[in-house]
Amino acid sequence: MYALIPAAGSGTRLGAAEPKQYLPLAGEPMLVHSVRALLGCAELRSVTVVVRPGDTRAGQCLRADARLRIVDCGGATRAASVRAGLQRLLDAGARPRDWVLVHDAARCCVSVGAVRRLIEACEHDAVGGLLALPVADTLKRQRGDSRRVGATLSREGLWQAQTPQMFRIGLLLEGLQRSDALALTDESSVIESQGLQPLLVEGEPDNFKVTLPGDLRLAEALLLRRRAQPGRGGKP
C-alpha cells in the first residue's frame, strides 16, 4: 500500500507569491504537515510527493525518511500530476494491484485516525473509496451570472469529497490514461468514469482543503492546538 501526494499546483487563489504547499503554517511549510500525517501510518510502504519539474523546495523542507520519495514529474493539472506519479510508482516496483492513497498537499490537517479509517474500510473492498462528509448546509444554485438565487437544491444524499482517496494503482492509471480524464479533479471521478462505485467513508471537518486566505488561519490554529495537545489527531 502506497501514498501519493500531488504537490505541483500554483495555489493562485491564495494570492501568495509562492505555491500554497510551501506557505508557512505553525512554523513549517504546509506540505510538511501533510507528509507527516501520512508517514504516521505504518501501513504505508512509502509516501511519494509529486512536485513540478525543477522544484527543489520539497527536498529542502522535508526531513529525509526511508519511506519518503520526491519526484519532479508534476503536470499541468492535478490529474496529470497524479498520472505521472503513479507511473513512477510502477517504475519503482509497485504492482498494478497494489493500493494507492492519493492525498492533496493542501489538506494539511488530515489526522492519522482518518487515514486509518479509510484503509480499514477499503482494504477488503473490490473498488476502494474516499473520505467524504455529508453536506450539512442548505445549497443554493445562482441564476446565470447573477448573485441571485436561482434554485435551492436538496442536500439529501450529497457528500463533499475529501482526500485521501484509495484505489488500485493499475485501475486508476488506466482511467487517467483516457484523454478526457485529465480535467477530472479527484480520483473517485476517474473510477466512476469506469462504471464503478467508490465507497464513501466518513471523513472529518478538520480535513478541509486550504484554498482561501481564511483557511490558512484556521489550519494554523488547528495545527497549533494539536501540537499543544499531542494525541488529539496529528500524531499516530
Least separation in angstroms between CB 204 and ligand C5P: 18
* Residue 55 within binding range of ligand C5P, rule CB under 6 A: no
Cα(138)–Cα(64) distance, rounded to whole angstroms? 45
Cα(128)–Cα(167) distance, rounded to whole angstroms? 5
* Residue 83 within binding range of ligand C5P, rule CB under 6 A: no
Residue number of the CB closest to ligand C5P reads 9
Least separation in angstroms between CB 156 and ligand C5P: 26
Contact letters for ligand C5P, residues 196-225 (x by CB under 6 A): -------------x-x--------------
Is 50 or 229 the residue whose CB approaches ligand C5P more closely? Answer: 50
Q: How many CA atoms lie within 13 A of 171 on its CB side?
A: 22
Is 197 or 211 the residue whose CB approaches ligand C5P more closely? Answer: 211
Local structure of 201: helix, strand or coil: strand
Cα(141)–Cα(65) distance, rounded to whole angstroms? 46
Number of residues that bind ligand C5P (CB under 6 A): 17
Cα(174)–Cα(89) distance, rounded to whole angstroms? 14
Alpha-carbon distances of 187 from 14, 131, 140, 172, 203, rounded to whole Å:
24, 12, 26, 7, 16
Cα(75)–Cα(137) distance, rounded to whole angstroms? 34
Is 61 or 125 the residue whose CB approaches ligand C5P more closely? Answer: 61
Least separation in angstroms between CB 8 and ligand C5P: 3
Residues 6+ positions from 179 with CB-CB distance below 8 Å: none
Location of C-alpha cell 508517514: 39
* Residue 76 within binding range of ligand C5P, rule CB under 6 A: yes
* Residue 81 within binding range of ligand C5P, rule CB under 6 A: yes
* Residue 106 within binding range of ligand C5P, rule CB under 6 A: yes
User: Residue numbers of the site for ligand C5P (CB under 6 A)?
Assistant: 6-9, 21, 50, 74-78, 81, 104-106, 209, 211
